[in-house]
């Protein structure tokens, strides 16, 4: 265990340094607490030309001791309204599912968690989730219903939380 | 009792059974136990491993891929070489795609880097030869592979269908790559591979004995066992190789499943039905009133219209004098009786199903005693040896009979009409015969000192009864294949 958790923290430190040196458009990332490399604070900027455009959404990524062999969990701390985000903020996308969750291999290989994923590739997946919700296996059923049947209501709710996120800055 | 009886004493004890004409005709040369062809074998883990390796080697030779990949293809085809032959030679490409092999050519299990590369998992640099791939072009360092393999093994049998870590690559990770894994992970991988052979094969099953048994049973007639087949593991546990439930010949797996489900839910269901449902007065189907007025219409095909309150025909409620409000003692009693009757019927079958198992368990304990007695008497006590042999045969038949009878009650609960009548007839004969045999066998068990002079006729009768009982059960089992099927 000790060996793997050292491996995980080295890898996370390396990614932290890389992201500080070469920031990526669309989000910023850092540690919640400088003494703990397993808990990250990221701020995602609502992608342009989507309902979330202009919003600043905070999320916490929590990495397991055996990262990268298991995925982190990601939870929005800012208010969020999206079919693939649980009401408590947890993000539900397939690449964050532990690989063992799908013993039959029905999910495509490219959709499962694999150790090649980094903070950057995970956040980019979340940004892409914001621009194209998947309402087939929703985490927030109400939001999925709104998205499918009552798009105006959905837009209204999202616009309100975008404004709220700007005020919180 | 038995010890005080002798040949001349026809008036008491078991003498009734001495009369030849009450018995089904016997051919005294026949074996007493029913001769069933054994179409299965019991295997230890080592034997399973050996068969698995042979099968993999054969298939590797047949489809011309290394054994590690042949194992993948076999597993994809539920470990059936016949299915491999069918699928591979009709659509090789599709099989290759399904298990992640390149669309043609001989797959390679492990490749090493020939130029310096960065490991895509830890981002460190490695010189040539230090990295490995699953035969594809995605190379990772030993430490990252070790972690990747460890995580897969931790997840269980998923490690058997592991692919290259690159999300766009489907190259399978086979046993050869586990050379870089920890020894413990390698051992666990081998174990999952072995278990998969038994668990995913349609012709094998681990012995499901509740006492824990490491043996496996393999069906030998063809690739797949298709109907109820009772097998007895070397540990003594009898089970159906098709459904893993305890041995239940002659009743089908479906009836057993339904009956077991009923037993586990019955206590709740009965209460719920009593509290919330009424039976349609015409077809007896239980009906729940979920909303609305008291005008009920039973569902198709019955369509009977009745009043929820009085359970009477609905028509008089609208055309005649409305009298639902008057308490009628007879009707209320009738309704209670109706619910009670349905419960009584279930309990009738349940009680007998459970009782035969208890009797069987007691008979089994007796048989264990006999076995040790048989072991204790040396080869010199020839006569005692033969006599205990007769008793053993009787007990074998008693155990089998109790078990079969038990399950015929599960069948009986669901049977109706002519089938029920036929079952009750055969079941009655078999049961009566078995009770006679069991009681007679227990005469000996309960007597303290056996008088062997008197015993000769006792054992003769015992053998006849055993044979007779066996015949009754065999004809009942046959009926389950034909008229009761």
Q: How many CB pairs under 8 A join A and B?
A: 53
Task: Name the residues of A annotated as catalytic.
Answer: 92
Record: contact A69-B120, CB cut-off 8 A: no
Average pLDDT over residues A27-43: 94
Residues 6+ apart with CB under 8 A from B345: B413
**The pLDDT value given to residue B10:** 41
Record: contact A10-B144, CB cut-off 8 A: no
Q: For chain B, what is the largest distance between any 2 Cα atoms, rounded to a whole number of angstroms?
A: 101
Average pLDDT over residues A4-19: 89
Instruction: Using a CB–CB cutoff of 8 Å, tell me whether A68 touches chain B.
Output: yes
**The pLDDT value given to residue A117:** 94
Task: State how far the Cα of B462 lies from the Cα of B91, in Å rounded to an integer.
Answer: 62
Greater pLDDT, B450 or A148:
A148
3-class secondary-structure state, position B280: coil
**The pLDDT value given to residue A35:** 92
Instruction: Using a CB–CB cutoff of 8 Å, tell me whether B450 touches chain A.
Output: no
Which residue out of A15, A100, A122 would a mutagenesis test of the B interface target, given it has the greatest number of B Cβ atoms within 10 Å?
A100
H helices within B155-278, ranges in order? 183-199, 253-276
Distance from CA of B259 to the nearest CA of A (A): 31
DSSP code for B305:
E
Give yes or no for a cis peptide into B301 (omega within 30° of 0): yes
Strand partners, A60: A41, A75
3-class secondary-structure state, position A57: strand
Which residue out of A109, A117, A121 would a mutagenesis test of the B interface target, given it has the greatest number of B Cβ atoms within 10 Å?
A109
pLDDT interval class at A155 (50, 70, 90): very high
Measured between beta carbons, which residues in chain A are less than 8 angstroms from residue B123? 11, 14
Which residue from B minimizes the CA distance to A95? B167
Measured between beta carbons, which residues in chain B are less than 8 angstroms from residue A11? 121-123
The answer to whether B384 and B377 are in contact (CB under 8 A) is yes
Record: contact A116-B122, CB cut-off 8 A: no
**The pLDDT value given to residue B29:** 42
Instruction: Using a CB–CB cutoff of 8 Å, tell me whether A103 touches chain B.
Output: yes
Give the pLDDT means over successive 10-residue stretches in chain B (485 positions).
40 44 42 56 95 96 95 94 94 93 92 95 94 95 94 88 90 94 95 93 90 92 81 91 89 90 68 65 71 71 78 75 68 71 82 89 88 70 75 91 94 91 93 91 68 67 93 93 88
Write the DSSP assignment of B317-381 as a string of letters.
HHHS---TTS--HHHHHHHHHHHHHHHHHHHHHHHHHHHHHHHHHHHHHHHHHHHHHHHHS-TT-
**The pLDDT value given to residue B76:** 93
- Take residue B188 and report the two structure tokens written for it: 């666990």
Instruction: Using a CB–CB cutoff of 8 Å, tell me whether A5 touches chain B.
Output: no
List, for residues A48-84, the tens digit of each pLDDT value.
999 999 999 999 999 999 999 999 999 999 999 999 9
Measured between beta carbons, which residues in chain A are less than 8 angstroms from residue B150? 4, 69
Backbone phi, psi, residue B229, to 5°: -140, 110
Instruction: Using a CB–CB cutoff of 8 Å, tell me whether B145 touches chain A.
Output: no
Record: contact A110-B121, CB cut-off 8 A: no
pTM, entire model: 0.69
Residue A33, H or E segment: strand A27-33
**The pLDDT value given to residue B196:** 92
Measured between beta carbons, which residues in chain B are less than 8 angstroms from residue A7? 122, 143, 147
Measured between beta carbons, which residues in chain B are less than 8 angstroms from residue A14? 123
Record: contact B158-A115, CB cut-off 8 A: no
Q: Which domains does chain B have, with CATH numbers?
A: 110-191 (3.30.40.10), 282-325 (no CATH), 335-480 (1.20.120.1750)
Q: How far is CA B233 from the centre of its chain?
A: 12
Distance from CA of B192 to the nearest CA of A (A): 14
Instruction: Using a CB–CB cutoff of 8 Å, tell me whether A64 touches chain B.
Output: no
Task: State how far the Cα of B427 lies from the Cα of B353, in Å rounded to an integer.
Answer: 13
Distance from CA of A112 to the nearest CA of B (A): 8
Record: contact B123-A11, CB cut-off 8 A: yes
List, for residues A81-96, the tens digit of each pLDDT value.
999 999 999 998 888 9
């Amino acid at each position: 265990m000790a060996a793997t958790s050292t491996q995980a923290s080295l890898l996370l430190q390396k990614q932290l340094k890389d992201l500080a040196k070469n920031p990526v458009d669309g989000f910023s990332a850092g540690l919640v607490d400088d003494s703990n490399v397993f808990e990250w604070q990221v701020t995602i900027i609502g992608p342009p030309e989507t309902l979330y455009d202009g919003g600043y959404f905070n999320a916490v990524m929590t990495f397991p001791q055996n990262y990268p062999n298991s995925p982190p969990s990601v939870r929005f701390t800012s208010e969020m309204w999206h079919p693939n985000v649980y009401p408590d903020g947890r993000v539900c996308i397939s690449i964050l599912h532990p690989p063992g969750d799908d013993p039959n291999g029905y999910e495509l290989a490219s959709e499962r968690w694999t150790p090649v994923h980094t903070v950057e590739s995970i956040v980019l997946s979340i940004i892409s989730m914001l621009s194209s919700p998947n309402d087939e296996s929703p985490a927030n059923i109400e939001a999925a219903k709104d998205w499918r049947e009552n798009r105006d209501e959905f837009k209204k709710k999202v616009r309100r939380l975008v404004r709220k996120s700007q005020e919180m800055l | 009792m038995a010890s005080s009886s002798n040949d001349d004493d026809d008036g008491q004890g078991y003498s009734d059974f001495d009369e030849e004409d009450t018995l089904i005709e016997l051919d005294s040369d026949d074996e007493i136990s029913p001769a069933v062809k054994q179409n299965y074998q019991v295997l230890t883990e080592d034997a399973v491993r050996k068969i698995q390796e042979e099968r993999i080697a054969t298939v590797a030779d047949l489809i011309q891929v290394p054994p590690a990949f042949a194992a993948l293809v076999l597993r994809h085809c539920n470990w059936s070489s016949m299915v491999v032959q069918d699928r591979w030679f009709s659509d090789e490409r599709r099989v290759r795609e399904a298990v992640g092999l390149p669309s043609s050519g001989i797959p390679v299990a492990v490749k090493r880097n020939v130029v310096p590369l960065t490991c895509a998992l830890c981002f460190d640099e490695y010189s040539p030869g230090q990295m490995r791939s699953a035969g594809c072009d995605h190379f990772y360092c030993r430490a990252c592979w070790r972690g990747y393999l460890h995580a897969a093994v931790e997840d269980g049998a998923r490690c058997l269908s592991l692919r290259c870590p690159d999300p766009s690559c489907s190259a399978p990770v086979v046993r050869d790559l586990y050379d870089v894994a920890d020894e413990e992970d390698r051992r666990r991988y081998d174990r999952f591979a072995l278990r998969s052979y038994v668990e995913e094969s349609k012709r094998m099953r681990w012995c499901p004995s509740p006492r824990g048994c490491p043996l496996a049973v393999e069906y030998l007639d063809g690739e797949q066992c298709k109907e109820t087949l009772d097998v007895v593991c070397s540990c003594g546990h009898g089970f159906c190789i098709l459904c893993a439930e305890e041995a239940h010949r002659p009743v089908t797996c479906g009836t057993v499943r339904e009956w077991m489900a009923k037993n586990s839910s019955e206590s709740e269901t009965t209460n719920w039905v009593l509290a919330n449902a009424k039976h349609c007065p015409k077809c007896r189907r239980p009906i729940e009133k979920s909303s609305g007025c008291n005008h009920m219409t039973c569902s198709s095909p019955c369509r009977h219209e009745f009043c929820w309150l009085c359970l009477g025909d609905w028509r008089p409620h609208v055309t005649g004098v409305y009298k639902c409000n008057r308490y009628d003692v007879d009707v209320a009693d009738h309704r209670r009786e109706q619910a009670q009757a349905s419960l009584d019927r279930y309990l009738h079958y349940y009680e007998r199903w459970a009782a035969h198992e208890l009797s069987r368990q007691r008979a089994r304990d007796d048989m264990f005693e006999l076995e040790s007695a048989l072991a204790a008497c040396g080869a010199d006590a020839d006569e005692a040896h033969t006599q205990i042999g007769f008793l053993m045969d009787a007990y074998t038949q008693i155990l089998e009979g109790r078990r079969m009878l038990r399950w015929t009650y599960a069948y009986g609960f669901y049977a109706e009409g002519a089938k029920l009548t036929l079952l009750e007839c055969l079941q009655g004969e078999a049961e009566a015969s078995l009770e006679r045999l069991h009681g007679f066998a227990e005469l000996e068990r309960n007597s303290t000192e056996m008088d062997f002079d008197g015993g000769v006729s006792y054992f003769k009768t015992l053998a006849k009864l055993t044979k007779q009982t066996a015949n009754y059960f065999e004809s009942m089992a046959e009926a389950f294949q034909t008229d009761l099927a």
